Structure 1
């Protein structure tokens, strides 16, 4: 069975250790801008939410890529073939959650690749807000419900 990253915003302390672990895993440097996970914080509400690619079943990023540079790996992650990618940023625009980004320093499109099945963000999260578990039906439903709720919250905040 496929494993997925599961987020528990109520456990997130906003420490951003996941961002540092991710950037170090992928770039051997502590640079949150290069991280494939980002922690969004609403200080007025006292809420921090770790966000990364949701590895959608019907991924918009895959649909809009004009050169077919994004595909699903054996771990279930949507990965970018850097040799095919033309950096058009259509995938960045298409992601409804903003979880595919462009790193100007490296000139690459970045998105969570699940660290080939051993996510660094999970290993180093001190509060257990990010976990990697089997995609049981209940877990998938919880993730989709949270994503819908988060989308509504983002729309409220941006208005």
Structure 2
């Protein structure tokens, strides 16, 4: 059975997840929470390893083109900053509507710090990419997408196969 790869972030650059390489070790979760919050706590991670049909792979915010989280926010607290969609903590009222409409669970509530969190690509230097022991997460420029499609990489959000 052929393993399928997914492009998980719809922005420039892209994070590509090589599902066949992920061993479910959760290193990506630990390094994410450590780099953002200063502690190892998977609940504070912006990336989460999930299991589906016996496979494990990380998921994170897709940075959707027409992001439902941004559209539903009553305070207009979610907006693009550069190539990343962020949550303005000063505007956000923590209604969690964004978490309800996110198609993959990429917007999360940080109950410890009382704020909404999502993948921000670590400012262009994603720690999950750097520390994944299996190199299951890769940061690629947007012009790599056509070549990825030729190799059979599916886009998880956006164009349908």
What's the TM-score bracket when you normalise by the shorter of the two chains? 0.7 to 0.9
Stretches of structure 2 that go unaligned for 5 or more consecutive residues are 1-10
Q: Which of structure 1's runs of 4+ aligned residues deviate more than 4 A? A: none
The 5 A counterparts of 1:1-159 are: 2-42=12-52, 45=54, 47-74=55-82, 76-136=83-143, 137-138=145-146, 142-144=153-155, 146=156
Kept in 1, the 8 Å contact 2:46–2:60? The answer is yes
Q: Distance in 2 between matches of 1:5 and 1:17?
A: 16
Over 3 Å counting, the alpha-carbon distance change for 1:117 and 1:139 in structure 2 is: farther
Note the alpha carbon deviations across 1:21-50, whole angstroms, 9 max, x for none. 1000110000000000000125x72x1111
TM-score normalized by structure 2?
Answer: 0.82
Alpha-carbon RMSD across the aligned residues, in angstroms, is 1.9
Which one has a larger percent helix, Structure 1 or Structure 2?
1
Residue 59 of structure 2 aligns to a residue whose secondary structure is strand
Residue 54 of structure 1 aligns to a residue whose secondary structure is coil
TM-score normalized by structure 1?
Answer: 0.83
- 2:7 aligned residue: none
Q: Distance in 2 between matches of 1:88 and 1:28?
A: 26
Kept in 2, the 8 Å contact 1:7–1:143? The answer is no
User: Cα distance, 1:139 vs. partner?
Assistant: 6.3
Over 3 Å counting, the alpha-carbon distance change for 1:114 and 1:139 in structure 2 is: farther
